[in-house]
Homo-oligomer: A and B are copies of this chain.
Amino acid sequence: MDTPLHHVVIVGSGFGGLFAAQAFAHAPVRVTLLSGTNHHLFQPLLYQVATGVLSSGEIAPPTRDVLKRQRNVRVLLGLVTHIDLDAREVTSTSPLGERRTSYDSIIVAAGAGQSYFGNDQFAQFAPGLKGLDDALEVRGRILGAFELAELSTDDETLDRLLTFVVVGAGATGVEMAGQIAELSRRTLPGTFRHIDPSRTRIVVIDPVPQVLPGYSDKLSRAAADRLESLGVELWLGRKVVDVDEDGVVVEDADGTRTRLEAACKVWAAGVGASPLAAQLAEDSGAPTDRAGRIEVEDDCTLPGHPEVFVVGDLMTIKGYPWVAQLAMQSGTYAARAITRRVRGEEPAPPFHYRDKGMMATVARFHAVARIGRFETAGLFAWGLWLGVHLLYLIGFKNRVSTLMHWVVSFVGRSRSEQAATWQQVVGRNALRREGSPPLAAQPGTDPG
């Protein structure tokens, strides 16, 4: 008689979860992947969805489609709310109710959410960029701000509507600012009659004194120069201390506060580990870092629980950076470590992150890249960046025609995803005034 196969539960369909699932391709295990969405998300390109270059589907292949041929994996929709370490059981929720799934091993790859550093009330005014919902929200706000600016009848309103604030000067912040600049300087001019979209003000704010911290001074300087040549203002060494419907308050190093009127704000700062990390840390007594990430053992397991692996943005180990590569490599590592155990082989050696380099795109034809010790900024780096991303997307079977579409959009002037619905512009737009007339005059319709 056969014993039942070792059952692995994977929480999350991001880089960590998906790479773990794929690494089990030929392993003698059953895998259940639980995720709150039906798709894998290629998060490094999310800012392009937010700025109208790409559609949702182009960066979010259905997880079950990617894993279709791997017969030992089942993919289930469910938001994991609790992991019972003693009972080895995970609770997930869906519109059908709660579901409990027991496991022999578990890989927790639930990823990071946005962190507002204790100011969660900022979220409604400055959405982050973590999932597709966020990206579509931001897209509606950006395009909506230009539409409303065209309607403005006084300079104060006009200036507020044409000022865009990006909080955070890391890769996402730099990329967002670059894309808003391209949108306003290249795509939109000529389409408005009242406003000049190219006079849009874009302000990037970060308490760190340089853009792209984590890159060398040389690359950071190159990115800053390119942004400034696009007219992006860099308010570095300054901290956002308040956000409301109409703007932000910024504090200098010497404590001076300045108010900046801006209708559209995007939060590209702070990352906070999933609430699952807090639950796991509390129940296991594992220490966490300031962002709530779990300090794992050198084999990515939860202290005292060799059957629980924590990977990607949810864990901290040896000071490795929280990049997509770390999630992929730790996900793969966890799957291989479990496979060894199940096969009765020697334990895996400690997890070691292999640094393949970093790259960020600043604007059209301009990126910065580091590969090992080799550094480059400009067109060549942009070509590298494009090639790496194309290869990755092709790996996930996104169609070549989609990729061609992307290359054409990204290199060209126009953008294919500029449709903003009435709901997006009005219903969710933080610009709405109290006391304005009821806006849902024709509910449920998208008036032509």
Chain B residues within an 8 Å CB radius of A41: 446, 448
In the bound complex, do residue B57 and residue A417 qualify as a contact, i.e. CB atoms below 8 Å apart? yes
Within 8 A of B (CB), among A16-73: 16-17, 35-39, 41, 52, 55-58, 60-62, 64-65, 68-69
Q: Nearest Cβ in chain B — how far from A205, in angstroms?
A: 21
Task: Please measure, in the bound complex, the distance between the C-alpha atom of A446 and the C-alpha atom of B418, giving whole angstroms.
Answer: 22
Task: Please measure, in the bound complex, the distance between the C-alpha atom of A190 and the C-alpha atom of B67, giving whole angstroms.
Answer: 10
In the bound complex, do residue B38 and residue A444 qualify as a contact, i.e. CB atoms below 8 Å apart? no
Task: Please measure, in the bound complex, the distance between the C-alpha atom of A61 and the C-alpha atom of B415, giving whole angstroms.
Answer: 9
Chain A at the B interface: mostly helix, strand, loop or mixed?
Answer: loop
Q: Mark A362-399, 1 if CB is under 8 A from B, else 0.
A: 00000000000000000000000000000000000111
In the bound complex, do residue A37 and residue B422 qualify as a contact, i.e. CB atoms below 8 Å apart? yes
Task: Please measure, in the bound complex, the distance between the C-alpha atom of A289 and the C-alpha atom of B448, giving whole angstroms.
Answer: 21
Task: Please measure, in the bound complex, the distance between the C-alpha atom of A77 and the C-alpha atom of B426, giving whole angstroms.
Answer: 11
In the bound complex, do residue A14 and residue B55 qualify as a contact, i.e. CB atoms below 8 Å apart? no
User: At the interface, yes or no: A408 with Cβ under 8 Å from chain B?
Assistant: yes
In the bound complex, do residue A448 and residue B12 qualify as a contact, i.e. CB atoms below 8 Å apart? yes
Task: Please measure, in the bound complex, the distance between the C-alpha atom of A109 and the C-alpha atom of B398, giving whole angstroms.
Answer: 39
In the bound complex, do residue B419 and residue A37 qualify as a contact, i.e. CB atoms below 8 Å apart? yes
Task: Please measure, in the bound complex, the distance between the C-alpha atom of A426 and the C-alpha atom of B131, giving whole angstroms.
Answer: 15
In the bound complex, do residue A445 and residue B74 qualify as a contact, i.e. CB atoms below 8 Å apart? no
Given A418-B62, A419-B39, are A151 and B78 also a contact pair (CB < 8 Å)? Answer: yes
User: At the interface, yes or no: A191 with Cβ under 8 Å from chain B?
Assistant: yes
> Which single member of B56, B61, B439 contacts A95 (CB below 8 Å)?
B439
User: At the interface, yes or no: A97 with Cβ under 8 Å from chain B?
Assistant: yes
In the bound complex, do residue B96 and residue A433 qualify as a contact, i.e. CB atoms below 8 Å apart? yes
In the bound complex, do residue B191 and residue A68 qualify as a contact, i.e. CB atoms below 8 Å apart? yes
Closest to A55 in B: B55
Given A68-B191, A448-B13, are A57 and B421 also a contact pair (CB < 8 Å)? Answer: no
In the bound complex, do residue B76 and residue A150 qualify as a contact, i.e. CB atoms below 8 Å apart? yes
Task: Please measure, in the bound complex, the distance between the C-alpha atom of A421 and the C-alpha atom of B134, giving whole angstroms.
Answer: 10
Chain B residues within an 8 Å CB radius of A36: 422, 442, 446-448
Q: Nearest Cβ in chain B — how far from A225, in angstroms?
A: 31
Closest to A149 in B: B96
User: At the interface, yes or no: A274 with Cβ under 8 Å from chain B?
Assistant: yes
Closest to A446 in B: B131
Given A64-B192, A148-B77, A421-B132, are A97 and B445 also a contact pair (CB < 8 Å)? Answer: no
Chain B residues within an 8 Å CB radius of A55: 55-58, 416-417
In the bound complex, do residue A420 and residue B39 qualify as a contact, i.e. CB atoms below 8 Å apart? yes
* Most chain B Cβ neighbours within 10 Å, of A56, A98, A437: A56
Stretch among A110-118, A214-222, A252-260, A342-350 lining the B interface: A110-118
Chain B residues within an 8 Å CB radius of A448: 12-14, 16-17, 35-37, 41, 109-111, 131
Within 8 A of B (CB), among A102-155: 109-111, 113-114, 123, 127-128, 130-134, 143-144, 147-148, 150-152
User: At the interface, yes or no: A194 with Cβ under 8 Å from chain B?
Assistant: yes
Task: Please measure, in the bound complex, the distance between the C-alpha atom of A426 and the C-alpha atom of B77, giving whole angstroms.
Answer: 11
Task: Please measure, in the bound complex, the distance between the C-alpha atom of A76 and the C-alpha atom of B448, giving whole angstroms.
Answer: 13
In the bound complex, do residue A421 and residue B133 qualify as a contact, i.e. CB atoms below 8 Å apart? yes
Q: Nearest Cβ in chain B — how far from A61, in angstroms?
A: 8
Please name 8 pairs of A and B residues whose Cβ atoms are closer than 8 Å in the assembled complex, sorted by A.
A41-B446, A65-B191, A65-B414, A95-B436, A95-B439, A132-B421, A133-B421, A401-B401
